[in-house]
A and B are shown apart, each in its own frame.
Chain A
Amino acid sequence: MTKRQMYMKMLLSSLLRRRSRMTVALLAIAIGATVLLGMTTICYDIPRQMGREFRSYGANMVFVAAGGETMLSLSDVDRAAALLPRESLVGVTPYRYKTVRSNMQPYTLVGTRFEQVRKTSPWWKVSGAWPTTGTEILIGSDVAEFARLSPGRTIAISGTNAKGARFSREMTILGVVRTGGVEDDFLFMDLTALEELAGDAGRVELAEVSVAMNAAGLSALSALIQREVPTIAPRLVKRVTQSETSVLSRLQALVYLVTLVVLVLTMICVATTMMTVVMERRKEIGLKKALGAENRSIVAEFLGEGVCLGLGGGLLGVAFGWLFAQTISVNVFGRAISFNIYLVPATLAASIIVTGAACLIPIRSATEVEPALVLRGE
């Protein structure tokens, strides 16, 4: 047997045959490592998870026509949308505005795609139902109040098309929309049906875009679209992107703070446990010194035990931390978390370093034990 093998034998025997005390230390480290891995996993995944949640705030980018033009073509909107990462794209909603009259009153009629509106403006409150055909219409709550209209009734609208000819059509009111914004004064119908009435297809005033991405990513996308589709001028909705970034960074800072506190608590707990271990083993340390052990041997043995505990606790922490993060993600965000494999060695390293650091004071105390202790029968 070599000295190294004997060292390992002593180390493992000390850990395995003194289970009760070591279990306490191992649990303390495992809990710390669990919280560390769990919190950092969540921290890494927060932008992805919260990004989707933030999309309920509405569009964070708007496409308008570049170069002083008032209209942009739908084909350009589609080209620009194709440049957005598919997994991050929540929706693209085109809007076309047309002034019409009903009972001599002027109204703004908006042509859009309702299935996209529901994605980019999920806060719209609709009483009744969303239109599904070209003869159905959604009216703003202020319009409904002013004209005493409600779902199920009809509304006659009229106007002039692109060629100057008059048109009129009777539409069925399917729902009343309330947003608290300008939408409450508008009428909404299917974009294709509006284009038919207007006699002019394939052009819209703007398109609202919702992308699950941070401010930096959106800026990069905006630059890409400007370069690839010069007829479109993408505008970031700064109020939304900045508040998202602010909330995310605060949330991440909170998670980091909690993780730091847990690490410090773990360190205190491990240091206390190791201190108790040293106190309990003063006679053993004295004996080893009496047998000729130098301080560096004592340090190597206790540090070795600390490293083994750190590694063991770290491995447990990786397993439980992943479960912890997964449980939080499923319960809070409603979807599974993505696991970052690089967090495994990072957690193991952190566990070993924290345990090693926590062992420093007890180890120092161990080296101060006098060998004469064993002869005194204390």
Chain B
Amino acid sequence: MEKTTENILEIRDVSMIYGQVKALQNIDLTVRKGEWLAIMGPSGSGKTTMMNIIGCMDKPSSGSVILDGREISGMSSRALTEMRRDRIGLIFQQFHLISYLTALENVMVAQYYHSMIDEAEALQALERVGLKDRAKHLPHQLSGGEQQRVCIARALINYPRLILADEPTGNLDEANERIVLDLLRRLHAEGSTIIVVTHSPEVAEYAEKTIVLEHGRIARTTRNAD
């Protein structure tokens, strides 16, 4: 049963324990629709675990996670796959493009697993990230920045309710970092909800709200000025 709410994500008292290791402890977090949240923290602070839970790739040991009005903490792996496919757009630090498919085909792969293939729409998504003329290129023929933009186009193609970006500028030079962040800013301005995991304070500055994780807990939350 879906709840109608202004929040895209509600995390209540979530803990994640691997054996003796407490990766997350009693996390409470709310993300509004259209909000841009940055998650920061040192290595081992629980950022990746949090990403996995929000991205429907893992289930918490305890607590409640409501994504787009649906409780996901008790979902089967098949239902989680469906949530991931229908509601989340993923952007990765290492781009993760399929090496034997062109930029256009990489975007179409997300359509293939989601519903229908629409080549024109995929081409439009590439145009949106400024790569229409590179559509037929294989990943190794593209620069790092271009690969990340293809990754963004792929994340957007199915109109996700939430864009989840893991260190999206971590492998980019300054010029490409700016291009990618401008793209994210444009998406946010168009109403997309974005959660970015980053080490970079500069990247976090683009977000409306930043949480800092330390030892699996939220150490502080800050609201950034416009």
Q: Which residues of A contact B (CB under 8 A)?
A: 1-3, 5-7, 9-10, 13-14, 16-18, 283-284, 287-294, 297, 370-372, 374-377
Contact = CB atoms under 8 A, between A and B. Distances in A.
A283 B57 contact: no
Contact of B117 (A1, A283, A291): A1
Given A17-B100, A292-B82, A375 B109 contact: no
Given A13-B100, A13-B101, A18-B100, A375 B113 contact: no
Q: Which 6 A-B pairs have the closest CB atoms?
A: A292-B85, A17-B100, A372-B57, A292-B113, A1-B117, A287-B96
Contact of A290 (B55, B112, B116, B138): B55
Interface in B50-75: 51-52, 55, 57-58
B86 interface: yes
A375 B55 contact: yes
B5 interface: no
A300 to B, nearest CB: 11
11 contacts: A1-B117, A6-B117, A13-B105, A14-B100, A17-B138, A290-B55, A291-B154, A294-B78, A371-B57, A371-B84, A375-B48
Interface of B: 48, 51-52, 55, 57-58, 78, 81-82, 84-86, 90, 92-94, 96, 98-101, 105, 108-110, 112-114, 116-117, 119, 138, 154, 166
Given A372-B57, A377-B94, A291 B113 contact: yes
Given A1-B117, A372-B52, A290 B90 contact: yes
B96 A283 contact: yes
A292 B48 contact: no
Contacts of A374: 90, 92, 94, 96
B109 A288 contact: yes
Contacts of A1: 108, 117, 119
B92 A292 contact: no
Contacts of A293: 81, 113
Contacts of B78: 294
Most B CB contacts (10 A, CB to CB) among A3, A297, A371 go to: A371
A10 B109 contact: yes
Given A3-B112, A18-B100, A292 B81 contact: yes
Contacts of B57: 290, 370-372, 375
A90 B18 CA distance: 82
A210 to B, nearest CB: 63
A211 B98 CA distance: 65
B116 A3 contact: yes
Given A10-B101, A292-B82, 14 more contacts: A3-B116, A9-B105, A10-B105, A13-B101, A287-B98, A288-B109, A291-B110, A291-B113, A291-B154, A292-B85, A293-B81, A294-B81, A377-B93, A377-B94
B92 A375 contact: yes
B71 to A, nearest CB: 19
A284 B92 CA distance: 13
Contact of A3 (B52, B101, B117): B117
Nearest to A376: B48
A370 B109 CA distance: 18
Contacts of B109: 6, 10, 288, 291
A329 B119 CA distance: 55
A288 B100 contact: no
Contacts of B94: 374, 377
A235 B101 CA distance: 73
Nearest to B94: A377
Contacts of A10: 101, 105, 109, 112
B98 A284 contact: yes
